[in-house]
Chains A and B, each alone.
Chain A
């Protein structure tokens, strides 16, 4: 996937991950790489500007807590606004997916 496409969808992926549980940055990357294999070649550092933008927007909040290894980490939590945003982006993504599928599946390869 191209970088622009990755960037456009990372916030949706982050919101989706946080809907399940509060997570810190590296934890999100680990979870994404486990689910997406190498399809999603995302540079890890790009996550942080996205998280900060979501925090500014009020979609997520952050707090510090000890991670499983006993080290303090900055955890992110999905707010009610974030949940609404996730629902909206989810439906947009599905509509987009259906439309692309409809065209791609009807393609005729010579």
Chain B
């Protein structure tokens, strides 16, 4: 049946408009025809091999059949099929993108929950660390103040730093875009460094304020999403040169 296969392959080469289903349907119909004809010839005493060759020859030119058949096919279905395939691929890519994004959010969120200090944000030499872990929940947002201390900047001036991370209560969702506002009521100084970063899952920021040597405490007033929280943080200068 190699003759049949070659002939059917040749016809199918001239069917650029055909969908897979249309191509398969014509192939089957022509194959059935060839089998019927060859069977008839064999019943008439023709040897099988010759019967197959004669059946193929009786069909005529594979190119003419293919071209004539192709002309009867509407390109619309093929076009729709290709559009559907393209849309499917795009949807898959979009889904993968969303999945990866969700995964990114989850990773950032978990890091903020379990290991916030692993996000490096140092803007100077850290001299002391003050134990602190304060969480401010507003709606779906959590602003976590997880680190504070006294540092020394490049101009040999002392500063107070407060490390915060903002993340969503739902680990799969992105961190809220609302930025907290921090005010320091100690020396009346202003934020000097700012800085920070993060992914869609969590946003870290180090807030830095100039500080006079020996100040006993610092009050940080955090305004986030309309909610004001004040933290009274005692400063320990022991061991600070």
Contacts and interface: CB of A to CB of B under 8 A. Distances in A.
A45 B29 contact: no
Given A52-B69, A53-B72, A46 B32 contact: no
A49 B65 contact: yes
Contact of A46 (B29, B37, B60): B60
B64 interface: yes
Interface string B100-121: 0000000000000000000000
Contact of B37 (A24, A43, A44, A49): A44
B185 to A, nearest CB: 83
Contacts of A56: 72, 74
Contacts of B26: 48, 52
A66 to B, nearest CB: 12
Interface in B55-104: 58-62, 64-65, 68-69, 71-74
Interface in B25-49: 25-26, 28-30, 32-33, 36-37, 40
B65 A45 contact: yes
Interface in A45-65: 45-46, 48-50, 52-53, 56
A71 B32 contact: yes
B29 A25 contact: yes
Contacts of A49: 65, 68-69, 71-72
Contacts, number: 59
**Interface SS of chain B:** helix
A73 B72 CA distance: 21
Contacts of B25: 74
A53 B65 CA distance: 13
Interface of A: 24-26, 29-30, 43-46, 48-50, 52-53, 56, 71, 73-74
25 contacts: A25-B29, A26-B32, A26-B33, A43-B58, A44-B37, A44-B59, A44-B60, A45-B30, A45-B33, A45-B64, A45-B65, A46-B60, A46-B64, A46-B68, A48-B29, A48-B30, A48-B33, A49-B72, A50-B68, A52-B69, A56-B72, A71-B32, A73-B32, A74-B29, A74-B32
